[in-house]
A and B are shown apart, each in its own frame.
Chain A
Amino acid sequence: MSDGMIEFRKEFFADERDDTLNEIGKPTRRQDILGHVTGRSPFYDDHLFQGLLHMRCARSPHHAARIRRIDTSEAERTPGVVRVLIGRDVPLNLNTLLSLLDFGIDDEPVLATDRVRYRGEPVAAVVADSEATARAAAAKVRVEWEVLPHVLDVEEAIRPGAPVVLDIYPGNRFIYHGKYDHQKLRYGDVEAALRAADHVVEGRYQMSPIEQAPIETCGAIAAPETNDRFVCYSSTQALFFSLATSSKLLRLPSSRLHFIGGTVGGGFGGKVDSIHEPLAILGAMLTGRPCKYMWDREEEMQVGAPRGAERWYISDGVMRDGRIVARKFVGYFDSGAYTRLSSYAIIKAVGHLPGPYTIPNVSADVSCVYTNRTPATAMRGFGITGVDFAIEAHMDKVAEVVGMNPIDFRILNAYRDGDMKAHRRSAKNCALIECCQVVAEKAGVQLSNAARTASSRQGGGGDRGRLPAHTALDQSGRVEGFDTGSYARKAGQRPATQHQVPAPVAARASPATQAASVQSRPRVEETRVAPSASQTTQQPAPPQQHPAPPSAPPRSGPIRFSSLSGFRRR
């Protein structure tokens, strides 16, 4: 690292740290640097094969359309074309990425058969002996389209009567926990606190999609091996995800797939979608020859899944002295036409709210909304980065309303050790105050005496460490028809014809009923109810300072995807 880029402030928390470190603070050479500077690092396209075939996709020119007919005959007759694949050639032509974790419903075909839902969605894959031939033949795939109405804005998509993007989600929203058309967070009573606040400050924040734009475009090369396996060289950032996804979609045991990756020419989250490997392997399976499926730059930019757009509405209740007493979020993630990883990004986002500030009343309704835009996926802190922009822009706005300098204002409201967070975990090892103090010093900002002498280790806990005595609950956005037994699976056998509008259910179930439903869960579930935002809102918060840890949870059973903290065993 160049000199001066890192500064160690060892005066902070010196007693909490062992400074006999062997690596930290000293430059260490990357283990792959020699390959990089000699140009010998083996990226996926640096593997040469005799008789390599090239795959190019024919894509939808429409945001939304029904496919009446796909005619590949002219493409197939093109000299040099070996095979043209369409949806029925894919053994299992429907997937959702997180199905590997039992999270969500399969919603996306590898090659569209009856409908397209975004511009650039692939409908056929041409395999030819040169890239130029594959490109020319892909242009000869004839599709009879019936253009359908489309929707490109999250709030237009959730209005009644909006075009339905995916029939399994008739309200154009992902269904959380089989119950709600959004992910909820309820902590304290936001509406009451907003009424009691000296000022209410509202803001609307919009982030556009961002393309990861790696210099190496996404792709994969697959080839038959001599041992009844297929080797696949891939740019993937998620090798085992791509392996399992290929195994699922091709109905091949993973033992017949030999994946090689790890050398990634820039990823930034954009190489986790396992788009290329299944098609490249299928091309190799159906032709018996090595097959490369690689996006060109235009495809990388047009159909490569970006960080999705987000829209956030924030309402803060703030007192004249600068204390934030309530914060309410309404958020919309633009998932694009399919789920990919957006449903999970929202769970991360809601676990992160209300940002690193101690606010006694917080609520959030965050929706994963389907539109006819390019599906979104991971990128560098997705789920967090967008809402952090909204939160911090809003902090500046609120500071201005109460007439405080924005760094003083942040220090006043920052988490301190022992404070209770809105997702019901105790704050530990806080350092925001100290960071703010260093920023103020470097920026030449004069802090108030209170802010200058504040410490993350003082003033936290106590009342600030207790759960709210009362948390206001509601059933807004309740839906029926989804099975809660498995993760938000549509009840019954994929009733594609079921067009039921998410209906609000009776205002509030009685506490007794709620308690009973919680009691009937398996024991492990019960002990872990506390961290889950949606489940905790079912019951008033108990006045306990430290939720008891679960007693010896069983270690067997399939891994499930926890609603808040990632993986969990049942």
Chain B
Amino acid sequence: MAKKPVTFTLNGTERAAFADPGQNLLDLLRRGVGDLTPKYGCAQGGCGACTVLIDGAPHLSCLVLGETVEGRAVETAAGLSGAALHPLQEAFMVHFAAQCGYCTPGMLMAAKALLDQTPKPTREEVEEAISGNLCRCTGYEPIIAAILSVANGSVRA
């Protein structure tokens, strides 16, 4: 079966790739364009390690067909920081919100999707926003604290 050309923006930059039939967005990003920040955890939509934003909304890239992002805006953890870290990244560092680090890129994107929509979330809203992201090192409390600290503007305190 023929590969299909796909053009989309990745973290604000226009990118093009050839998607294999049936290739998911996770694999297209990792092998097709070399953005290794979304992680493979289950390819079943169960763990959230592959979370990316498509047109601002969080999606599990393992469950999205690569060819369907034609013309859309994809954001990954690779685009969070420029010269300076994103406040969420700072907060994750300050609050020890990463242990092995494997769930972290997906966790950050789920948190970013929340704060972009709801800058002052309640704790319950934070819990809901990351409820699809598993952290087997079980660092949920520091992760929640980190996200709330960004909402409170207290990261750099």
**Could you list which residues of chain A lie within 8 angstroms of chain B, going by C-beta atoms?**
1-2, 27, 29-30, 32-41, 43, 45-46, 48, 130, 132, 212-217, 263-268, 296-297
The answer to whether B89 and A215 touch across the interface, beta carbons within 8 angstroms, is no
Stretch of B2-10, B39-47, B67-75, B115-123 on the interface side: B39-47
The answer to whether B34 and A215 touch across the interface, beta carbons within 8 angstroms, is no
**Besides A43-B102, A215-B41, A216-B49, 19 other A-B contacts (C-beta < 8 A):** A2-B96, A2-B141, A32-B101, A33-B93, A33-B98, A37-B92, A37-B101, A39-B77, A41-B101, A45-B40, A48-B34, A212-B136, A215-B102, A265-B39, A265-B100, A265-B102, A266-B137, A297-B41, A297-B46
The answer to whether B42 and A265 touch across the interface, beta carbons within 8 angstroms, is no
Residue of A30, A132, A217, A297 near B98 (CB, 8 A) is A30
The answer to whether A217 and B145 touch across the interface, beta carbons within 8 angstroms, is no
The answer to whether A214 and B101 touch across the interface, beta carbons within 8 angstroms, is no
Give the chain A neighbours of B36 by CB distance below 8 A: 39, 46, 48
Asked if B104 is at the interface of the complex by the 8 Å CB criterion, the answer is yes
Give the chain A neighbours of B136 by CB distance below 8 A: 212-215, 266, 268
CB-CB under 8 A for A216 and B100, given A37-B85, A132-B22: yes
CB-CB under 8 A for A216 and B81, given A2-B142, A34-B93, A297-B46: no
Give the chain B neighbours of A267 by CB distance below 8 A: 100
The answer to whether A216 and B102 touch across the interface, beta carbons within 8 angstroms, is yes
Q: CB-nearest residue of chain A relative to B104?
A: A36
The answer to whether B44 and A297 touch across the interface, beta carbons within 8 angstroms, is yes
Residue of B39, B78, B108, B134 near A43 (CB, 8 A) is B39
Tally of B interface residues using CB under 8 Å: 41
The answer to whether A38 and B41 touch across the interface, beta carbons within 8 angstroms, is no
Q: Which of B84-124 contact A (CB under 8 A)?
A: 85, 89, 92-93, 95-96, 98, 100-105, 108
Residue of B20, B34, B76, B134 near A39 (CB, 8 A) is B76
The answer to whether B41 and A36 touch across the interface, beta carbons within 8 angstroms, is no
Question: Is chain A's binding surface mostly helix, strand, loop or mixed?
Answer: loop
Q: Output the least CB separation between A531 and chain B (Å).
A: 35
Residue of A29, A46, A217, A297 near B93 (CB, 8 A) is A29
Interface membership of chain B positions 43-68, coded 1 if the CB is closer than 8 angstroms to chain A and 0 otherwise: 11011010000000000000000000
Give the chain B neighbours of A34 by CB distance below 8 A: 93
Q: Which of B1-31 contact A (CB under 8 A)?
A: 20, 22, 31
Q: CB-nearest residue of chain A relative to B89?
A: A37
The answer to whether B101 and A35 touch across the interface, beta carbons within 8 angstroms, is yes
9 contacting pairs across A/B (C-beta < 8 A): A33-B92, A33-B93, A36-B100, A39-B108, A212-B136, A214-B136, A215-B47, A215-B136, A216-B102
Q: Which 9 A-B pairs have the closest CB atoms?
A: A36-B101, A39-B37, A265-B102, A39-B77, A39-B105, A297-B42, A36-B98, A37-B89, A46-B36
Give the chain B neighbours of A265 by CB distance below 8 A: 39, 100-102
Asked if B80 is at the interface of the complex by the 8 Å CB criterion, the answer is yes
Q: Output the least CB separation between B150 and chain A (Å).
A: 12
Give the chain B neighbours of A216 by CB distance below 8 A: 39-41, 49, 100, 102
Q: CB-nearest residue of chain B relative to A3?
A: B145
Give the chain A neighbours of B41 by CB distance below 8 A: 215-217, 297
Q: Output the least CB separation between B81 and chain A (Å).
A: 6
The answer to whether A1 and B93 touch across the interface, beta carbons within 8 angstroms, is no
Q: Output the least CB separation between A493 and chain B (Å).
A: 45
Q: Which of B81, B93, B96, B100 has the most CB of A within 10 A?
A: B100
Q: CB-nearest residue of chain B relative to A263?
A: B101
Q: Output the least CB separation between B51 and chain A (Å).
A: 11
CB-CB under 8 A for A2 and B145, given A45-B40, A214-B102: yes
Q: CB-nearest residue of chain B relative to A34?
A: B93
Q: Output the least CB separation between A65 and chain B (Å).
A: 29
Residue of B47, B80, B96, B141 near A30 (CB, 8 A) is B96
A29 to B85, CA, bound (A): 16
Q: CB-nearest residue of chain B relative to A235?
A: B102
Q: Output the least CB separation between B41 and chain A (Å).
A: 5
Q: CB-nearest residue of chain A relative to B47?
A: A215
Q: Output the least CB separation between A79 and chain B (Å).
A: 13
Give the chain A neighbours of B47 by CB distance below 8 A: 215, 297
Give the chain A neighbours of B101 by CB distance below 8 A: 32-33, 35-37, 41, 263, 265
Give the chain A neighbours of B93 by CB distance below 8 A: 29, 33-34, 37
The answer to whether B134 and A38 touch across the interface, beta carbons within 8 angstroms, is no
A146 to B142, CA, bound (A): 53
The answer to whether B89 and A1 touch across the interface, beta carbons within 8 angstroms, is no
The answer to whether B100 and A38 touch across the interface, beta carbons within 8 angstroms, is no
The answer to whether A2 and B102 touch across the interface, beta carbons within 8 angstroms, is no
Give the chain B neighbours of A40 by CB distance below 8 A: 37
Q: Output the least CB separation between B136 and chain A (Å).
A: 5
A132 to B135, CA, bound (A): 28
Give the chain A neighbours of B43 by CB distance below 8 A: 296-297
The answer to whether A48 and B98 touch across the interface, beta carbons within 8 angstroms, is no
Q: CB-nearest residue of chain A relative to B80?
A: A38
Give the chain B neighbours of A32 by CB distance below 8 A: 101
